Amino acid sequence: MQLLFIHASWISYEVREKTKIAENLSDNEKARQINNCLVVKTCVEKKDKEDVLKTAKKEIITIAEKVGAKHIVLFPFAHLSPELSSPKFAIKFLKDLKKALKTDGYEVDSIPFGWIKKWALETKGHALAVLSRRF
C-alpha cells in the first residue's frame, strides 16, 4: 500500500473518459470541487490484504489529526506503484476504507476509480502539507 497525503486548500476534478475498469457514476459525481481537505492518493498493491485496511486507516487518522483536517478525500492513484492489485480488490478496499473513516467521524469523499480525469489542487504550504507512507 502506498499513500501520498496532500493537505489541500481545495481539490477539483472532472472525469473525461471511462476506462474498462471504471466504476459507474451519477451526474453529480462527474465533476466536483472539495475545499479544505486532506487528499490521500492511494495505491492498493498486489501484496496487500484486508488487514492493511486497519493500518491505512490509522495512518490517515494520524495525519489528519496532525494537520487538523476533518474532511478526507480518497484519490485512487495507480501511478504510485508498478505492482497493482486487481481493480476489483482495490475498489472494495477503498469503499471499506471510506466506510471505516466515516465511522470515526470524518467527512469522506472519493475521486472516481478508473476514469481518466482532469484534476487540480492547491496545497496548504506548510511542513506537513505533503507526506507519504508505504506499508
Domain that holds residue 6: 2-18+32-134
Listed in order, strand segments (DSSP E) in the chain are: 2-18, 31-43, 71-76, 107-110, 115-123, 130-134
Position 50 in a domain:
yes
Helices and strands in the chain, H and E counts: 2, 6
Position 67 in a domain:
yes
Please answer whether residues 114 and 21 qualify as being in contact, where contact means their C-beta atoms are separated by less than 8 angstroms.
Answer: yes
Q: What is the pLDDT along the chain (135 residues), one digit of tens a residue?
A: 999 999 999 999 999 999 999 999 999 999 999 999 999 999 999 999 888 999 999 999 999 999 999 999 999 999 999 999 999 999 999 999 999 999 999 999 999 999 999 999 999 999 999 999 999
Position 10 in a domain:
yes
pTM of the model: 0.95
Position 68 in a domain:
yes
Q: What is the pLDDT of residue 25?
A: 95
Query: How many domains in the chain?
Result: 1
CATH code of the domain in which 93 resides? 3.50.80.10
Position 25 in a domain:
no
Q: What is the pLDDT of residue 50?
A: 84
User: Using CB atoms within 10 A of its CB, is residue 20 exposed (0-12), middle (13-18) or buried (19+)?
Assistant: exposed
Position 103 in a domain:
yes
Name residue 47's amino acid. Answer: K
Position 55 in a domain:
yes
Position 27 in a domain:
no
Q: What is the pLDDT of residue 31?
A: 98
